[in-house]
Chain A
Amino acid sequence: DADVTQTPRNRITKTGKRIMLECSQTKGHDRMYWYRQDPGLGLRLIYYSFDVKDINKGEISDGYSVSRQAQAKFSLSLESAIPNQTALYFCATSDLDRDGYGYTFGSGTRLTVV
């Protein structure tokens, strides 16, 4: 099994629908992140969490919300999806004690809003 698992892998949804992207990890890492990737813009941080009770907004949090249900689970919700939220979404984790070692990424969720 992958260290960081994202579901679903691909999703097409309609404008105005609520959708949840899920992320779970077996790394035992405290820190979890949600990024979105757009062509020509790289990856941009949506939300991050340093532990279950700590949730922080990233640079592009508008239109998104998150829930850290447990150390291992961090979900991203789009309350009312719009077409410009069409993107590739990544969940990532990192270890506080090894913060120079980069992130472990999930395999991404490609979301299309029509």
Chain B
Amino acid sequence: AQTVTQSQPEMSVQEAETVTLSCTYDTSENNYYLFWYKQPPSRQMILVIRQEAYKQQNATENRFSVNFQKAAKSFSLKISDSQLGDTAMYFCAFSVRSNNDMRFGAGTRLTVKP
């Protein structure tokens, strides 16, 4: 079975500082995709960043970057220069290319403090 684990239910960070959210997953597949989604209080699910498993280079989107360790099945999200608008629930997700059935972690609630 494919599972996604986020071991940090809640985290907080001071504005302008850096924070890292952890995610591990379990799969026997070789071709898959990994995602981080943000859910602000508006409850909309917003794609933050994505990573293709066959790419060794870590994905980066402005202040958001990932540390993808395929052998360790780890996919952490680093947020640099945290802003108040980054306050949200963050979900790590995993999708196998063959069936596109996306599995989600339980989420990490991030609070950015002024």
Q: Which residues of A contact B93 (CB under 8 A)?
A: 43, 102
Known contacts A105-B45, A108-B43; is-contact A43 B97 (Cβ 8 Å): no
Name A41's closest neighbour in chain B (CB-CB).
B106
Indicate the size class of the contact surface on chain B.
20 to 34
Known contacts A102-B33, A102-B50; is-contact A42 B95 (Cβ 8 Å): no
- Total contacting residues, chain A, CB less than 8 A: 25
Whether the Cβ atoms of A42 and B50 lie closer than 8 Å is no
- Which of A60-68, A71-79, A93-101 forms part of the interface with chain B? A93-101
Among A31, A41, A105, A110, the residue within 8 A (CB) of B100 is A31
Interface residues of B in 78-114 (CB under 8 A from A): 91, 93, 95, 97, 100-107
Given contacts A40-B9, A42-B105, A44-B104, 6 further A-B contacts (CB under 8 A): A42-B4, A43-B104, A100-B52, A102-B35, A102-B47, A103-B45
10 A-B pairs (CB sep. < 8 Å): A42-B4, A45-B103, A92-B45, A99-B100, A100-B97, A102-B33, A102-B35, A102-B102, A107-B42, A108-B43
